Amino acid sequence: MMTTDSTVRSEFIAGLRDLAQFLVDNPKVPVPSFGRSILLHAKGDSDEQERAVVDRVAALLGSAASGDDHYKAVREFGPLSYEVLAISSQDRRDYEALMSYAGAVSAGEC
């Protein structure tokens, strides 16, 4: 879920700062070897509305949105990235259909 609520934003930013300071103060605490993303999922009543959300955030990020079934905008900050994503309703249906088989087949039973 996304929001621009000032209280939520302030708490999120404070949490990021606290995490960064904790890592500075505790150099033996490991960090990921590869980058990590803060990923937000666009919400709307249609694929077009969700893509419009991605386009609006892309403009705020100073980046371009791209993709088909997974339409996203990304801004990178070193090994970290901030991403907003819209997944097409067809792609979500395809994934739900695939997951409907979860647990039905096991490698141990083959």
69-110: pLDDT as tens digits: 999 999 999 999 999 999 999 999 998 998 988 888 777 765
Instruction: Please answer whether residues 82 and 37 qualify as being in contact, where contact means their C-beta atoms are separated by less than 8 angstroms.
Output: yes
21, part of any domain: yes
pTM: 0.83
Determine the Cα–Cα distance for residues 103 and 24; give it in Å rounded to an integer: 43
Listed residue (75, 68, 27) closest to 51, CA to CA: 68
108, part of any domain: no
The overall average pLDDT reported for the chain is 93
Listed residue (68, 40, 73) closest to 54, CA to CA: 73
Domain containing 3: what range? 1-31
31-71 pLDDT per residue, tens: 999 999 999 999 999 999 999 999 999 999 999 999 999 99
Task: Say yes or no: 24 and 39 in one domain.
Answer: no
What local confidence, expressed as pLDDT, does residue 88 receive?
Answer: 94
CA-angle at 35, arms to 53 and 39, nearest 5°:
20
106, part of any domain: no
